[in-house]
Amino acid sequence: MSLQEKAMKWWAEKTKQHKYVVSSGEVPDQRQRDYLRKRRLIFKVSRGCWILKRPEDEIDDVFPLLYWQAIEQILANHKWSLRGESALSVYNGDQAAQKHLTIKTQDKTNRTISLPLDFEIELRHDPHFDERLVMKQEIAGRQIPAAIPELVLVDVNKLSLKEVQSFIAGTDFDKRMLGAIYATRPKPVIFKRLVELAWEAKRPDLAEALEKIIEDYTHYQVVKKRKNESKLAFEKPALLAPPWVIRQEQQAKEFEDALNRHLKAKIARIKKQPLADLLKHAKEHKKYDTYHSTSLEGYRITPEDVDVLLSGRAPKEEKGEGADHLEKLKNRMAIVGYSEAFDFILAGVKQDFGKPHIAEDFIKDTYSKLFKPSTDAGIVDYYSLTTYRSMPVYIRGTRYAPPSYEKLPELMASYAQLVNKIQNPVVRAILAHYFFVTIHPYLDGNGRTGRLLMNYLLLSAGYSWVTIKNEQRGEYFEALAKAQLDEGILQFGEFILAILKEASKRPVYKSS
């Protein structure tokens, strides 16, 4: 067997096992390694860690998807845990690759490890490292060690981030553990600051527990008490929403306020239309929207494919089997499914005109319509239409990572409530779209479902149907990423509003 054949056999075996991150000890000898690098099949992340990929895959797309696997490999020989802001992000439900990862280790080392795309790991020795203060957190399907919440609380006391407030507001801290941490290394100044943060986060139970810890272990009397606050007997609130739900609701309010400030006047100038005209125009627009919304998600279809299937004409019979035949069947069922979901949305608009309301059952019914043809064709399992996803998902082209599946029931319940509270109907539609695709509750179809929900809200409020064209894909995903990674919703809001403004000018939509 030649050197090239050996190298390719090794690569094929690893990828068949879905092992895309390997140690240097697993990589073949130097000559095979050089061959694989030349073929763009492997990429060195750092000393001791390599990524396997396809030649056409850019490292900018691949590395964020494999980030946590790479971190595990790089730190395999250390006893470590996430600390500070890095651990805080994880406890707030953020699974994204972190540009600057803060790590504490019991090993006597202090260094910064450089990674691709200007990512880095700050590895710092902790002389008080104790494995009893570490717990595993599932992040993107990996079990990552992180400092326990009580230790993270002490770490982030100097920060004034919104993430700190949601973390404190939604975490059920172990008061005995907080007492043990304080007793081991008493720091009254830090705990006094934590008392203030607890009051600000509306957690009087935590604030008073922290005050008692200071008094018990250092005999320091905390004089300052809040006026008009009833003392609680150290009991947590009866209904304690988790940090990721609190942060989502905070962000929804922040985004709503930002969009209202910057877009309210522009929205007021957009003309509303009667229900009959909206439904007529939407139906005329259906083929056009089906093509763009479906192809936007990567389905290889043409306007002619859509026209044939939605006109009721039988498509040309194509004999075949295997992957190519299955791909064509998937594409056809995606077209038919979108058509059925489109009709379902219009029926909802007709029923709810002037009083739109998002409910989880409505979302699930929309999703079911979207994929029922695929289930009937045996492509998708029927059971998968009944629940949210039960595994991690990754989105190519962005380092944004959707929430872990365990958080979905709480996030989606919160989603329905926060959307219905938004007053301005266009802002409501924009944020319904944004938060749905950001939560990413399903394995597939999130973009199409999110856009259908947005249009249900727009039409029910008297506004035109909005279609994001396939050629706007780059601009669309860039605007989404800006909000998801940098908390800048205005670019996405302006993007949607520009399309709505243009759609509202046309009395009748073109069909192709």
CATH topology of domain 245-505: Fic-like fold (1.10.3290)
Determine which helix (DSSP H) or strand (DSSP E) holds 242, and give its type and residue range: none
Measured distance CA(23)–CA(6) in Å, rounded: 18
Report phi then psi at 176, rounded to 5.
Answer: -65, -40
State residue 403's pLDDT score. 94
Q: What is the pLDDT along the chain (512 residues), one digit of tens a residue?
A: 899 999 999 999 999 999 999 999 999 999 999 999 999 999 999 998 999 999 999 999 999 999 999 999 999 999 999 999 999 999 999 999 999 999 999 999 999 999 999 999 999 999 999 999 999 999 988 999 999 999 999 999 888 788 999 999 999 999 999 999 999 999 999 999 999 999 999 999 999 999 999 998 887 665 555 544 544 444 556 568 999 999 999 999 999 999 999 999 999 999 999 999 999 999 999 999 999 999 999 899 999 999 999 987 766 655 556 677 788 999 999 999 999 999 999 999 999 999 999 999 999 999 999 999 999 999 988 888 889 999 888 887 788 999 999 999 999 999 999 999 999 999 999 999 999 999 999 999 999 999 999 999 999 999 999 999 999 999 999 999 999 999 899 999 999 999 999 999 865 444 44
N-to-C CA span, the chain = 55
- Picking from 339, 409, 410, the residue whose alpha carbon sits closest to that of residue 373 is 339
State residue 395's pLDDT score. 85
DSSP 3-state assignment of 269? coil
β-strands 120-125, 100-105: how paired? parallel
Which residues lie below 8 Å from residue 140, measured CB to CB, with a gap of 6+?
67, 68, 95, 392, 394, 401, 404
State residue 238's pLDDT score. 58
Can you spell out the DSSP letters for 286-342? HHHHHHHHHHTTT----HHHHHHHHTTPPPPP----HHHHHHHHHHHHHHHHHHHHH
State residue 511's pLDDT score. 43
Each domain of the chain, given as residue ranges in start order, spans 3-57, 245-505
Q: What is the pTM of this model?
A: 0.85
State residue 510's pLDDT score. 46
- Contact yes or no for 383/217 (Cβ under 8 A): no
State residue 255's pLDDT score. 98
Q: In residues, how long is the chain? A: 512
